[in-house]
Copies of this chain bind each other. A is one copy, B any other.
Amino acid sequence: MKFGLMINEGPYTHQASDSAYQFALAALAKGHEIERVFFYHDGVNNATKLTEPPQDDRHIVNRWSKLGADHGIDLVVCVAAALRRGIREENLAKGFRISGLGQLVESGMQADRLLVFGD
Protein backbone atom coordinates (compact mmCIF):
# COMPACT_ATOMS: atom_id res chain seq x y z
CA MET A 1 0.00 0.00 0.00
CA LYS A 2 1.14 3.57 -0.75
CA PHE A 3 1.32 5.91 2.23
CA GLY A 4 1.74 9.67 2.14
CA LEU A 5 2.84 11.36 5.37
CA MET A 6 2.45 14.96 6.48
CA ILE A 7 4.54 16.39 9.33
CA ASN A 8 3.40 19.65 10.88
CA GLU A 9 5.81 20.27 13.75
CA GLY A 10 9.53 20.83 14.08
CA PRO A 11 12.02 18.23 15.33
CA TYR A 12 12.60 17.73 19.08
CA THR A 13 9.92 20.22 20.16
CA HIS A 14 7.03 17.88 19.35
CA GLN A 15 7.01 14.12 19.01
CA ALA A 16 5.29 14.38 15.61
CA SER A 17 8.44 13.86 13.54
CA ASP A 18 9.53 10.93 15.74
CA SER A 19 6.16 9.21 15.48
CA ALA A 20 6.10 9.68 11.72
CA TYR A 21 9.60 8.24 11.42
CA GLN A 22 8.77 5.16 13.50
CA PHE A 23 5.59 4.71 11.47
CA ALA A 24 7.58 4.95 8.23
CA LEU A 25 10.11 2.36 9.43
CA ALA A 26 7.35 -0.06 10.41
CA ALA A 27 5.45 0.50 7.16
CA LEU A 28 8.57 -0.14 5.05
CA ALA A 29 9.35 -3.26 7.10
CA LYS A 30 5.90 -4.57 6.20
CA GLY A 31 6.53 -3.99 2.50
CA HIS A 32 4.47 -0.84 2.14
CA GLU A 33 5.66 2.18 0.19
CA ILE A 34 6.11 5.71 1.60
CA GLU A 35 5.68 7.77 -1.51
CA ARG A 36 6.15 11.20 -0.02
CA VAL A 37 6.67 13.02 3.27
CA PHE A 38 5.30 16.54 3.14
CA PHE A 39 6.63 19.04 5.70
CA TYR A 40 4.24 21.87 6.57
CA HIS A 41 3.82 24.52 9.30
CA ASP A 42 6.82 24.22 11.70
CA GLY A 43 7.42 20.81 10.12
CA VAL A 44 9.67 22.60 7.62
CA ASN A 45 12.22 22.90 10.45
CA ASN A 46 12.92 19.18 10.02
CA ALA A 47 14.80 20.11 6.86
CA THR A 48 17.61 22.36 8.09
CA LYS A 49 21.12 20.99 7.75
CA LEU A 50 22.35 23.26 10.55
CA THR A 51 20.79 21.12 13.27
CA GLU A 52 23.25 19.65 15.76
CA PRO A 53 21.58 17.78 18.63
CA PRO A 54 23.48 16.58 21.73
CA GLN A 55 25.74 13.61 20.88
CA ASP A 56 23.68 11.12 22.89
CA ASP A 57 20.45 12.07 21.14
CA ARG A 58 18.94 11.03 17.82
CA HIS A 59 19.65 13.21 14.76
CA ILE A 60 16.15 13.71 13.41
CA VAL A 61 17.16 15.62 10.27
CA ASN A 62 19.87 13.20 9.14
CA ARG A 63 17.58 10.28 9.88
CA TRP A 64 15.03 11.58 7.37
CA SER A 65 17.74 12.30 4.77
CA LYS A 66 19.01 8.74 5.07
CA LEU A 67 15.58 7.13 5.03
CA GLY A 68 14.66 9.18 1.97
CA ALA A 69 17.82 8.10 0.13
CA ASP A 70 17.58 4.44 1.16
CA HIS A 71 13.95 4.03 0.11
CA GLY A 72 13.45 6.64 -2.59
CA ILE A 73 11.07 8.71 -0.51
CA ASP A 74 10.21 12.16 -1.81
CA LEU A 75 10.86 14.63 1.04
CA VAL A 76 8.99 17.82 0.20
CA VAL A 77 9.16 21.06 2.16
CA CYS A 78 6.39 23.60 1.58
CA VAL A 79 7.91 26.75 0.10
CA ALA A 80 5.52 29.26 1.68
CA ALA A 81 5.82 27.72 5.15
CA ALA A 82 9.61 27.47 4.70
CA LEU A 83 10.09 31.13 3.78
CA ARG A 84 8.12 32.23 6.87
CA ARG A 85 10.52 30.17 8.99
CA GLY A 86 13.92 30.71 7.42
CA ILE A 87 14.34 27.46 5.51
CA ARG A 88 15.83 27.97 2.04
CA GLU A 89 18.04 26.13 -0.45
CA GLU A 90 21.15 27.38 1.37
CA ASN A 91 20.35 25.61 4.66
CA LEU A 92 18.37 22.71 3.20
CA ALA A 93 19.55 19.25 4.26
CA LYS A 94 20.37 16.54 1.76
CA GLY A 95 17.48 14.72 0.15
CA PHE A 96 14.84 17.38 0.86
CA ARG A 97 13.34 19.54 -1.87
CA ILE A 98 11.32 22.73 -1.62
CA SER A 99 8.07 22.84 -3.54
CA GLY A 100 4.48 24.05 -3.41
CA LEU A 101 1.42 23.04 -1.41
CA GLY A 102 0.08 21.33 -4.50
CA GLN A 103 2.42 18.46 -3.66
CA LEU A 104 0.41 17.82 -0.51
CA VAL A 105 -2.91 17.72 -2.32
CA GLU A 106 -1.31 15.49 -4.94
CA SER A 107 -0.15 13.15 -2.19
CA GLY A 108 -3.71 12.99 -0.88
CA MET A 109 -4.87 12.07 -4.38
CA GLN A 110 -2.21 9.51 -5.21
CA ALA A 111 -1.51 7.75 -1.91
CA ASP A 112 -3.85 5.10 -0.57
CA ARG A 113 -3.68 6.83 2.81
CA LEU A 114 -2.46 10.25 3.86
CA LEU A 115 -1.42 10.31 7.53
CA VAL A 116 -0.89 13.54 9.43
CA PHE A 117 1.48 13.98 12.38
CA GLY A 118 1.38 17.21 14.35
CA ASP A 119 0.72 19.01 17.61
Contact = CB atoms under 8 A, between A and B. Distances in A.
A2 interface: no
**How many protomers of this protein does the assembly include?**
2
Per DSSP, chain A at the interface is: loop
A10 interface: yes
Q: Give the size category of A's interface with B.
A: 20 to 34
A45 interface: yes
B13 A87 contact: no
Contacts of A41: 13
A84 interface: yes
Contacts of A54: 80, 83-84
A66 interface: no
A49 B85 contact: no
Contacts of A61: 86
A85 B83 CA distance: 16
Interface of A: 10-13, 41-42, 45, 48-54, 61, 80, 83-88, 90-91
Given A49-B86, A50-B86, 4 more contacts: A11-B85, A13-B42, A48-B86, A50-B88
26 contacts: A10-B10, A10-B42, A10-B45, A10-B85, A11-B85, A12-B84, A13-B42, A42-B42, A42-B45, A45-B45, A45-B85, A45-B86, A50-B88, A50-B90, A50-B91, A51-B83, A51-B85, A52-B83, A52-B84, A52-B88, A53-B83, A53-B84, A54-B80, A54-B83, A61-B86, A86-B91
